[in-house]
């Protein structure tokens, strides 16, 4: 084989090696895979003892360094002083070993190696803010030829294109991820808005229903109250008319008794109507002493208890002090006790009142052995002006007031009842944040026989 054939064969092999190199580079999906392709293929294309490519794209610099068969990639690095000088001139350079030793910018670089004999440098600055410096060094006496420069230029363009492509793909992937996260956040916010709208619609419906219910209750209250007021007023007018007819002393005494009964009934109705305003009244909370409260209610109803020979007893048992609105609690207990008196039996009647607690609530029970509530009235027993029997002397507002007051405290009221056996009302009131644990158990019980 003569010299020309050798050169042609060598050149063909280099092009084949470059073609394989280009294929591996194009198949790379990361900077690390580019470095692996350089380490595996560059030695078949170039006589490279040491190789370095520095590429700056959008003010970010990446370097690939090949030494002793290992190629490493360094992201987020910077150009060295020698490379910056070469980019300033923009001209290719070849340096001998002596030139390398005299170049200040290479003294602390990878190319300050005693075995290096020649160094080839190719700087490129492009219009799209890219700067590249390809540096290749060998350790033999052969100078780099024009063909070597051509292959170096091809390698530089190949690596520049691939690195730019990967960085662009990374940027697109980052943007896509940010967009996906933004879309997920937007979807989440939309879901939250839909949830809030649904909750708002429910609240509006609830408040509309309550407003409608309150309006209907007000209409009923005004209508029935006007009629209930007219009856005692008519009685009072009738008594007044009789008093103008010169009645006897006995008749005057009888009329005075009727007048007192009528006025007391009217006053009782006014008190119940006034009680309904307690839930809207701003009242400072205070410590509730159930024993004193029950004793006060007992004294208030003592004439009725004595008249009907009702056996009244109570128990107060709890370990937690309770702070709330005293007037509302008084209204609840008064109306429950009054209701039990109204429907007491004639034989051995009793009323039992009990206050106890669990982990989260206070429970008030008022039990009697009276007439009981007929089954057909039980669904409407808390409505206004409902009476369980015709013999009842009440105005039908007691249990309506109880339910409103209990709900104002955030509690609930229920009952069990059996005709001719009695009724038990249970009021459950929540323990709130202003409760303080007491150091000892408060237990009180009392029985009263009238």
pLDDT digits (tens, 9 = 90+) for 337-392: 999 998 888 889 999 999 998 888 899 999 999 999 999 989 999 887 777 666 55
Q: Is pLDDT at 5 greater than 80 in this prediction?
A: no
Q: How far apart are CA 192 and CA 143, in angstroms?
A: 72
State the Cα–Cα distance between residues 53 and 5, nearest whole angstrom: 33
3-state helix, strand, coil in the chain (%, to 5): 50, 25, 25
**What is residue 142's DSSP assignment?**
P
> Of 291, 432, 309, 263, whose CA–CA distance to 361 is shortest?
432
Verify that 295 and 429 share a domain, yes or no.
Answer: yes
Using the predicted structure, report yes or no on whether residue 258 has a pLDDT greater than 90: no
- Of the three residues 108, 142, 174, the one that is the final residue of a domain is 174
What is the predicted pLDDT for the residue at 180?
93
Mean pLDDT of the chain, nearest integer? 85
- Confidence class for position 397, pLDDT limits 50, 70, 90: confident
Answer yes or no: is 365 within a domain: yes
Instruction: Give the residue with greater pLDDT, 241 vs 46.
Output: 46
Give residue-wise pLDDT tens across range 186-239. Answer: 999 999 999 999 999 999 999 999 888 877 777 776 766 676 677 778 888 888
Read off the CATH number of the domain in which 389 is found.
3.30.565.10
Domain assignment present for 241: no
- Round to whole Å and give the CA distance between 61 and 115: 28
User: 0.85 cut: is pTM over it?
Assistant: no
Distances (CA, A) of 303 to 219, 315, 336: 35, 21, 17
Query: What are φ and ψ of residue 361, in 5° steps?
Result: -145, 160
Q: Which residues contact 65 (CB under 8 A, 6 or more apart)?
A: 50, 51, 52, 71, 72, 74, 110
Closest CA to 50 of 109, 131, 93: 109
**How remote is the C-alpha of 325 from its chain's centroid?**
32
Query: Alpha-carbon distance 328 to 334, whole Å?
Result: 10
311-321 and 286-287 as β-strands: parallel, antiparallel, unpaired? unpaired
| pLDDT tens digits along 110-139 | 898 999 999 999 999 876 678 999 999 999
| Pairing, β 422-430 against β 361-368 | antiparallel
pLDDT at 160 over 70: yes
End-to-end CA distance of the chain: 140
Whether 328 shows a pLDDT value over 60: the answer reads yes
CATH of residue 129 = 3.30.450.40
Residue 433 has pLDDT above 50, yes or no: no
User: Hey, how many other C-beta atoms are within 10 angstroms of the C-beta on 319?
Assistant: 13
Q: Which two tokens stand for residue 158?
A: 């190949």
| Helix (H) and strand (E) counts in the chain | 10, 14
Show which of 174, 206, 235 is a domain's final residue. Answer: 174
- pLDDT mean over 38-67: 92
Asked if the structure places residue 35 within a domain, the reply is yes
Of 290, 442, 421, nearest to 368 by C-alpha is 421
* Domain-located, residue 255: no
Give me the number of domains the chain comprises.
2
Give the end of a domain, one of 174, 203, 237: 174
- Residue 123's domain comprises 3-174
Using alpha carbons, select from 325, 322, 327, 332 the residue that is nearest to residue 365: 332
Q: What is the pLDDT of residues 300-325, one digit of tens each?
A: 999 999 999 999 999 998 777 788 88
Higher pLDDT, residue 177 or 397: 177
């Amino acid at each position: 084989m003569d010299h020309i054939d050798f050169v042609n064969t060598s050149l063909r092999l280099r092009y084949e090696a470059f073609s394989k190199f280009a294929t591996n580079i194009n198949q790379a999906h990361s900077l690390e895979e580019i470095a692996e392709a350089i380490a595996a293929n560059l030695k078949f294309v170039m006589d490279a003892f040491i190789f370095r490519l520095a590429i700056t794209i959008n003010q970010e610099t990446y370097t690939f360094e090949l030494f002793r068969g290992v190629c490493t990639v360094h992201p987020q690095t910077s150009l060295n002083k020698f490379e910056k000088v070469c980019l300033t001139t923009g001209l290719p350079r070849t340096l001998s070993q002596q030139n390398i030793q005299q170049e200040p910018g290479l003294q602390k670089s990878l190319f300050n190696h005693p075995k290096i004999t020649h160094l080839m440098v190719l700087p490129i600055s492009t219009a799209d803010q890219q700067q590249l410096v390809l540096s290749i060094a060998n350790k033999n006496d052969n100078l780099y030829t024009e063909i070597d420069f051509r292959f170096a230029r091809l390698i530089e363009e190949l690596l520049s294109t691939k690195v730019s492509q990967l960085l662009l793909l990374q940027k697109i992937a980052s943007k896509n991820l940010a967009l996906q996260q933004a879309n997920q956040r937007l979807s989440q916010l939309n879901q939250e808005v839909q949830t809030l709208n649904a909750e708002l619609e429910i609240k509006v419906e609830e408040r509309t229903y309550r407003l409608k219910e309150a309006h209907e209750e007000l209409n009923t209250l005004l209508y029935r109250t006007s009629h209930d007021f007219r009856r005692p007023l008519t009685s009072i007018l009738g008594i007044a008319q009789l008093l103008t007819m010169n009645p006897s002393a006995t008749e005057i005494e009888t009329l005075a008794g009727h007048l007192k009964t009528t006025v007391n009934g009217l006053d009782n109705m006014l008190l119940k109507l006034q009680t309904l305003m307690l839930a809207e009244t701003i009242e400072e909370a205070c410590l509730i002493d159930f024993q004193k409260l029950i004793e006060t209610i007992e004294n208030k109803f003592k004439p009725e208890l004595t008249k009907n020979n009702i056996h009244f007893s109570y128990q107060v048992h709890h370990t937690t002090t309770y702070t709330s609105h005293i007037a509302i609690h008084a209204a609840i207990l008064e109306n429950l006790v009054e209701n039990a008196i109204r429907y007491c039996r004639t034989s051995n009647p009793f009323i039992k009142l009990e206050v106890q607690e669990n982990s989260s609530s206070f429970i008030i029970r008022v039990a009697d052995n009276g007439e009981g509530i007929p089954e057909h009235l039980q669904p409407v027993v808390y409505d206004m002006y409902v009476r369980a029997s015709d013999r009842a002397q009440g105005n039908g507002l007691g249990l309506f007031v109880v339910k409103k007051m209990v709900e104002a405290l955030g509690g609930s009221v229920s009952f069990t009842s059996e005709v001719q056996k009695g009724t038990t009302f249970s009021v459950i009131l929540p323990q709130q944040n202003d409760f303080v644990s007491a150091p000892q158990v408060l237990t009180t019980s009392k029985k009263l026989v009238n």
